Amino acid sequence: MFTGLSLRFRIFLFFCLLAVGGAGLAAAALMFGWSRADQTLPTGPFVTAFVLFAFLNTGLAVTVWLLFDENVAKPINRLSAALRLHAHSGVDAEFDAEAARYLGDLAPAASALSETANASVIDTAAKVARETQRLRAQSDQLTALLSQIPIATILLNPAQEIVLYDTQAADVLSQIAPPRLKAPLGDYFDLAELHAAIKQLSDTTKEVPFTLHDVARTQAFTARLKPLGDDGHMICIDVSPAQTTAIESRPLVFDFDLMNAAETKHITDTPLSELCFVPFDTETTGLSVEKDAVVQLGAVRVLNGRIVDGEVMDTYVNPGRAIPPASTNVHHVTDADVADAPSIAEVGRAFHQFARDAVLVAHNAPFDIGLLRKHETDMGVAWTHPVLDTVLLSAVVFGTTEDHSLDALCERLGISIPSDLRHTALGDAQATAEALVRLLPLVEGKGMHTFGQLIEETRKHSRLLRDLNE
């Protein structure tokens, strides 16, 4: 019956029961004494004695509960959070022995268990690190090689979603929309020619040449289609200097876990592991959604529990007004920085495409989402994305009474934010993404595996922030 309640609330109810039970017993005793006494005696003294006892008994119960809550319940919550951090996110959280001094040997025992586990995995971690370094070096070599070949390569899963693109393909895709994994190819190209080419494939035909047009049919690309068995297709696009633009060097971007396309489900029934998240942040002229404007927007993408390298949005925004010096002192964005920047309408449309089919993630999301939604008409888009707030996510994992600022959350999760990136849109978006990646295994460890289950749990802490998923 009470298993869904938090530990602290259950303890509070226990002390309430003690207070009520004590008052009930006192009332019964006084009634028994009065019934045995001379019935002509006035009842006033008995009532006064009961009221005084009930008041003192309740005060004693509250005092003992406060002491118990501060010295037992809260330390147990912090200890369990530290153990979950270590178990699910690999964060070597320290156990506060002073705060848990009234828990007997529990904190030292947990610390000893953690140290033993650390010692047992250190050799494995070292081997994994060496192998990871070797694979990264090979990936860099492959990326450099593919970058020199005038062919753009895109791999598709059976659902015709992008699971890999190289540097050349990123260049081609960027001319149409921001490149992103798990994006339907139809977001970039007219699929009529692709479907016709797929029909031409057979056991004897290993490659089909065809012409690929962008969705607006303003650009044409010479391409070849190759089958990948039952696992999807490979598209090779011939590129030339006239069809490419100079873009920032990016790695080979892929996630082969996407080859097994999951069945499309309602967002509430979708496992957290199958969702795409877009953590983002804005820097503004002030702290009012109604009166202030965006001067910088940064975002990254998270898939399968990892931040996708190369899928980044980072741009200044012209607010159409002067930036107050007090705001510049915080985020260091000046009027000169935004003088030639695009408007919020243009940036909003680009970000809407970047975050398509994804869950938006922000720290104190009502502020950032509010800034976007107030410009929906100018952007020509609707911000109907599901939203996850890392403030509420932190409350689910660590409890409402903890500090849930971005700095405190990152410190708790062992995330370092370089001082020169703090209060920049991309720096804070990156920090939010890293926090998300470490928090998701913790909520899954607490039994929340779908987006619906997680949102239901965050709503228990809705007094902290406005719910954006209604």
Q: How many residues does the chain have?
A: 470
**394 and 454 co-located in one domain:** yes
**325 and 453 co-located in one domain:** yes
More confident: 278 or 85: 278
Report the share of the chain in percent with pLDDT over 90. Answer: 44
Instruction: Mention every residue, 6+ apart, whose C-beta is less than 8 A from residue 231.
Output: 157, 158, 259
Asked whether the predicted pLDDT for residue 117 surpasses 60, the reply is no
Q: Does any domain span residue 258?
A: no
C-beta separation of 112 from 136 below 8 A:
no
Asked whether the predicted pLDDT for residue 332 surpasses 90, the reply is yes
Structure tokens at 223: 């391409």
Q: Does any domain span residue 470?
A: no
Asked whether the predicted pLDDT for residue 285 surpasses 70, the reply is yes
Residue 112's identity, in one-letter code, is A
Q: What is the mean pLDDT of the chain?
A: 82
Find the CATH number of the domain harbouring 406.
3.30.420.10
Lowest mean pLDDT among 10-19, 25-34, 380-389: 25-34
Distance of alpha carbon 38 from alpha carbon 213, whole angstroms: 103
Asked whether the predicted pLDDT for residue 410 surpasses 80, the reply is yes
Mean per-residue pLDDT, 18-43 = 67
C-beta separation of 220 from 212 below 8 A:
yes
C-beta separation of 249 from 222 below 8 A:
no
Distance of alpha carbon 235 from alpha carbon 157, whole angstroms: 11
The boundaries of the domain holding residue 289 are 265-461
pLDDT at 168: 86
Asked whether the predicted pLDDT for residue 467 surpasses 90, the reply is no
Nearest to 93, CA basis, from 78, 105, 76: 78
Residue 192's identity, in one-letter code, is A
pLDDT at 55: 72
Compute the CA torsion angle 325, 330, 333, 334 (nearest 10 deg): 20
**231 and 277 co-located in one domain:** no
Tally the domains of the chain: 3
- Phi-psi category of residue 160: left, alpha or beta, with phi > 0 → left and psi -120 to 50 → alpha: left
Mean per-residue pLDDT, 264-268 = 79
Q: Does any domain span residue 384?
A: yes
Nearest to 279, CA basis, from 306, 316, 251: 306
Q: Does any domain span residue 451?
A: yes
pLDDT at 166: 87
Asked whether the predicted pLDDT for residue 110 surpasses 70, the reply is no
Q: Does any domain span residue 14?
A: yes
Winning range, highest mean pLDDT, from 122-126, 322-326, 414-418: 322-326
- Phi-psi category of residue 91: left, alpha or beta, with phi > 0 → left and psi -120 to 50 → alpha: beta
- The interaxial angle of helices 74-84 and 425-445, nearest 10 deg, is 100
Nearest to 443, CA basis, from 395, 400, 405, 386: 395
Structure tokens at 195: 């479907």
**194 and 307 co-located in one domain:** no
Place 4 in a pLDDT band, splitting at 50, 70 and 90: low
**304 and 421 co-located in one domain:** yes
Out of 189, 212, 243, a domain closes at 243
Distance of alpha carbon 366 from alpha carbon 17, whole angstroms: 39
Mean per-residue pLDDT, 369-378 = 95
Place 121 in a pLDDT band, splitting at 50, 70 and 90: very low
Nearest to 333, CA basis, from 220, 428, 431: 428
> Which pLDDT tens digit goes with each residue over 57-69?
777 777 777 777 7
Report the share of the chain in percent with pLDDT over 70. Answer: 74
Nearest to 76, CA basis, from 99, 52, 53: 99
> Which pLDDT tens digit goes with each residue over 130-188?
666 766 666 666 666 555 567 889 999 998 999 999 888 998 999 899 999 999 999 99
Residue 455's identity, in one-letter code, is I
**105 and 25 co-located in one domain:** yes
**188 and 233 co-located in one domain:** yes
Place 194 in a pLDDT band, splitting at 50, 70 and 90: very high
C-beta separation of 331 from 296 below 8 A:
yes
Asked whether the predicted pLDDT for residue 227 surpasses 50, the reply is yes
Winning range, highest mean pLDDT, from 2-16, 21-35, 311-325, 445-459: 311-325
How many Cβ atoms sit within 10 Å of the Cβ of residue 196? Answer: 12
**230 and 273 co-located in one domain:** no
Instruction: Mention every residue, 6+ apart, whose C-beta is less than 8 A from residue 144.
Output: none
**178 and 299 co-located in one domain:** no
Q: Does any domain span residue 176?
A: yes
Nearest to 198, CA basis, from 219, 227, 162, 165: 227
Find tokens 């790695």 and name the residue.
Answer: 251
**182 and 324 co-located in one domain:** no
pLDDT at 114: 62
Q: Does any domain span residue 467?
A: no
pLDDT at 228: 84
Mean per-residue pLDDT, 42-68 = 71
Mean per-residue pLDDT, 346-356 = 95
> Which pLDDT tens digit goes with each residue over 173-185?
998 999 999 999 9
Find the CATH number of the domain harbouring 227.
3.30.450.20
* Phi and psi angles of residue 234, each rounded to the nearest 5 degrees, phi first: -115, 135
Instruction: Mention every residue, 6+ apart, whose C-beta is less than 8 A from residue 171.
Output: 152, 239, 244, 245, 247
Separation in Å, CA 8 to CA 59, 75, 392 = 19, 10, 18
**200 and 285 co-located in one domain:** no
Q: Does any domain span residue 133?
A: no
Distance of alpha carbon 286 from alpha carbon 295, whole angstroms: 10
Compute the CA torsion angle 195, 196, 198, 203 (nearest 10 deg): 160
Mean per-residue pLDDT, 330-357 = 95
pLDDT at 462: 79
- Phi-psi category of residue 82: left, alpha or beta, with phi > 0 → left and psi -120 to 50 → alpha: alpha
**157 and 107 co-located in one domain:** no
Out of 116, 133, 162, a domain closes at 116
Give the 3-state secondary structure of residue 162. strand
Which pTM does this prediction carry? 0.74
388: burial class by Cβ within 10 Å (0-12, 13-18, 19+)? buried
Out of 213, 243, 273, a domain closes at 243
Distance of alpha carbon 18 from alpha carbon 128, whole angstroms: 54
Instruction: Mention every residue, 6+ apart, whose C-beta is less than 8 A from residue 226.
Output: 206, 207, 233, 234, 235, 236
Asked whether the predicted pLDDT for residue 122 surpasses 60, the reply is no
Instruction: Mention every residue, 6+ apart, whose C-beta is less than 8 A from residue 199.
Output: none
pLDDT at 246: 47
